[in-house]
């Protein structure tokens, strides 16, 4: 297995002579068992299941790993069948056609007469024809007899049952026209929506689904490049030149799971698992930062349950989940909190001036309780934690803490996100005052200091959309206002991708602004974009769903 199996478009620029000899041998083996006519510069992954009767491929056309090809396939120049794509029956692709991962082009059909079982029905094949310069997103199904015209775009998850005209953009099940590709461009739509703050509804709402699908396909195609950019050869860093951190490894795992449906391509999965598991302090169960007391670099120290070390309970625990394993030890720093000590610790938090810090501590405690229960059968003081939260929640605004004259509702709303993520969302419990919480979130969402046209960051957007999304499971209170805000910020977020590098944490623009993409920004925005899209009912267009820190389903009930 090599990177070319999953990123075949890299082959002719980066393949070694040994790689090219191996590919020549593989193609020769295919020629021995099928009618094969291919140009000089093609790539067919040895991991692809190619059992065609005839195969034609133009220059710079590729078939990636785990693609499944049977019957008769014609590919013009610059075509790509991405990983897990299926082409069966009679399929003809023009030039410059991109077929997304997990997409099926089914150029045959079964009969449906009632006189015999389905598996004995005769098979017919009208074939599928795709024109030039066509982009077919991931998880698309194209049925037999369909013709897709030149320059068309098929949104992720679409089921195409009828012909698609040239230049059309279609999406949905069954696929329906969104707009003509030559009409108002996505960038124009995005600029107008952001500048005016107008909700994108009707035809514009369908345009937004198209933007979401296009973004996801672009991110998937560049995911490996984003990860390799932040790999030093030994460790992950948030961005080139940054110091190595534990979180960078976890962000890499989350990004790979979202966009590549598996672990990062480098290093080997076993190496990532060993790095993360071996960093846990067996006495406290915490994971200190690289080089901090209690880490493998500074053994003998005692990590403190605060700051980045507390956050590692979340990010390392969920990264190990995604890698199919778990912590070596319980989170003893949480397991050792009896009811009296837990209540005293909660009371001692500065809820008036530092509600975000207080909420992040509760998040880590709730996640530690979940880890200990799910992985080691240790129940801990779950009831004590929820009893304290329920009795301390402010009925007037549905949150914990109060606003201050300097930051307004920022700390309270940001702390509400962190607190509820690790408790109510993670354990699948209803919020005590959801409508009051919506009112408070929408006040914060209108604060120009944090959501002006030239300012903002991933934390502030996440801290608004997650509460709106979470409360939306219980109430539709002021839903239209929430959706208008979500549309505006979804359009803005989609425009932040930087080729080969991902997304920056900051949204700030203007003179002196720095927007450096990194793993943290990319991981956070991918989850934020899903939450914004799901709140608007169009998350299926992304073709991915968070399974780590930002998973929508409760981790435990």
Residues with catalytic function: 110
What count of other Cβ atoms lies within 10 Å of the Cβ of residue 53? 11
Alpha-carbon gap, residue 485 to 479, rounded angstroms: 10
**Helix, strand, or coil here: 80?**
strand
Angle, alpha carbons 207-183-104 (nearest 5°)? 55
HEC readout, 364-375: HHHHHHHHHHHH
| Nearest C-alpha neighbor of 238 from the set 458, 505, 3 | 505
Q: Backbone phi, then psi, for 104, in 5-degree steps?
A: -120, 120
Measured CA angle at 484 (ends 478, 485), to 5 deg: 95
In 10 A of CB 512, how many CB atoms?
5
CA distance 178 to 204: 9
**Cis-peptide, bond into residue 174, ω within 30° of zero:** yes
Q: What angle do CA 357, 437, 334 make, to 5 degrees?
A: 35
Residue 122: how many other CB atoms lie within 10 Å: 9
Q: Is 209 helix (H, G, I), strand (E, B) or coil?
A: helix
Residue linked to tokens 């068992």: 33
In the 3-class helix/strand/coil scheme, how is 127-153 assigned residue by residue? CEEECCCEEECCCCEECCCCEECCCCE
Tell me the two tokens of residue 218: 């672009």
Structure tokens at 225: 């490049």
Contacts for 481-486 with beta carbons within 8 Å, 24 or more apart? 481/442, 482/438, 482/441, 482/442, 482/535, 483/199, 483/535, 483/536, 484/197, 484/198, 484/199, 485/442, 485/445, 486/532, 486/535, 486/536
DSSP secondary structure letters along 307-349:
HHHHHHHHHHHHHHHHTT---SS--HHHHT--HHHHHHHHHHS
Q: Which DSSP letter does residue 542 get?
A: G
Helix (H) or strand (E) holding 62: strand 61-63
- Max Cα–Cα distance, the chain, nearest Å: 78
Return all residues near 299 (Cβ < 8 A) that are at least 6 apart.
none
CB-based contact 160:154 (threshold 8 Å): yes
Q: Which residues of 152-163 are buried (b: 16+ CB within 10 A; e: fewer)?
A: bbbbbbbbbeee
Helix (H) or strand (E) holding 178: strand 176-180
The token duo for 468 is: 């709106």
């Amino acid at each position: 297995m090599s990177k070319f199996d999953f990123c075949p478009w890299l082959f002719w620029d980066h393949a070694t002579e040994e790689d090219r000899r191996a590919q020549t041998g593989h193609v020769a083996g295919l020629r021995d068992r099928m009618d094969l006519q291919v140009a000089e510069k093609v790539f067919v992954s040895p991991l692809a299941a190619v059992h065609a009767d005839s195969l034609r491929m133009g220059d710079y056309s590729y078939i990636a790993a785990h693609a499944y090809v049977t019957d008769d396939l014609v590919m013009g120049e610059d075509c790509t069948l991405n990983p897990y794509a299926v082409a069966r029956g009679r399929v003809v692709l023009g030039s410059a056609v991109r077929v997304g991962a997990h997409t099926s082009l089914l150029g045959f059909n079964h009969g449906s007469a009632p006189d015999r079982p389905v598996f004995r029905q005769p098979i017919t094949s009208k074939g599928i024809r795709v024109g030039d310069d066509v982009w077919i997103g991931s998880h698309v199904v194209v049925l037999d007899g369909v013709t897709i015209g030149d320059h068309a775009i098929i949104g992720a998850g679409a089921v195409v049952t009828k012909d698609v005209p040239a230049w059309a953009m279609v999406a949905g099940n069954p696929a329906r026209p969104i707009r003509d590709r030559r009409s108002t461009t996505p960038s124009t739509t995005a600029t107008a929506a952001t500048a005016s703050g107008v909700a994108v509804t009707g035809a514009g709402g369908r345009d937004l689904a198209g933007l979401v699908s296009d973004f996801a396909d672009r991110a998937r195609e560049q995911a490996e490049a984003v990860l390799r950019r932040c790999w030093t050869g030994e460790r992950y860093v948030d961005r080139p030149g940054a110091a190595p951190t534990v979180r960078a490894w976890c962000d890499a795992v989350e990004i790979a799971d979202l966009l590549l449906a598996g672990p990062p391509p480098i290093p080997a999965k076993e190496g990532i698992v060993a790095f993360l598991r071996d960093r846990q302090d067996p006495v406290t169960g915490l994971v200190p930062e690289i080089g901090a007391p209690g880490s493998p670099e500074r053994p003998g120290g005692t990590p403190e349950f605060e700051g980045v070390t507390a956050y590692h309970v979340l990010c390392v625990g969920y990264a190990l989940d995604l890698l199919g394993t778990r912590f070596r030890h319980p989170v003893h720093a949480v397991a050792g909190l009896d009811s009296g000590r837990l209540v005293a610790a909660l009371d001692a938090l500065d809820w008036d001036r530092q509600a975000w810090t207080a909420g992040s501590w509760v998040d880590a405690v709730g996640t530690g309780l979940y880890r200990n229960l799910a992985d080691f059968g240790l129940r801990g003081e779950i009831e004590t934690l929820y009893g304290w939260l329920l009795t301390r929640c402010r009925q007037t605004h549905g949150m914990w803490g109060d606003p201050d004259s300097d930051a307004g509702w920022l700390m309270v709303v940001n702390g509400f996100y962190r607190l509820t993520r690790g408790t109510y969302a993670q354990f699948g419990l209803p919020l005590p005052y959801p409508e009051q919480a919506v009112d408070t979130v929408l006040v914060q969402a209108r604060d120009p200091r944090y959501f002006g046209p030239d300012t903002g960051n991933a934390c502030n957007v996440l801290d608004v959309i997650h509460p709106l999304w979470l409360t939306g499971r219980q109430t539709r209170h002021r839903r239209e206002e929430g959706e208008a805000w979500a549309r505006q910020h979804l359009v803005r977020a989609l425009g932040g991708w930087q080729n080969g590098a991902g997304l920056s944490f900051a949204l700030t623009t203007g003179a002196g602004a720095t927007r450096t993409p990194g793993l943290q920004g990319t991981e956070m925005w991918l989850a934020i974009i899903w939450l914004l899209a799901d709140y608007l009912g169009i998350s299926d267009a992304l073709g991915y769903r968070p399974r780590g820190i930002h998973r929508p389903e409760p981790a435990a009930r």
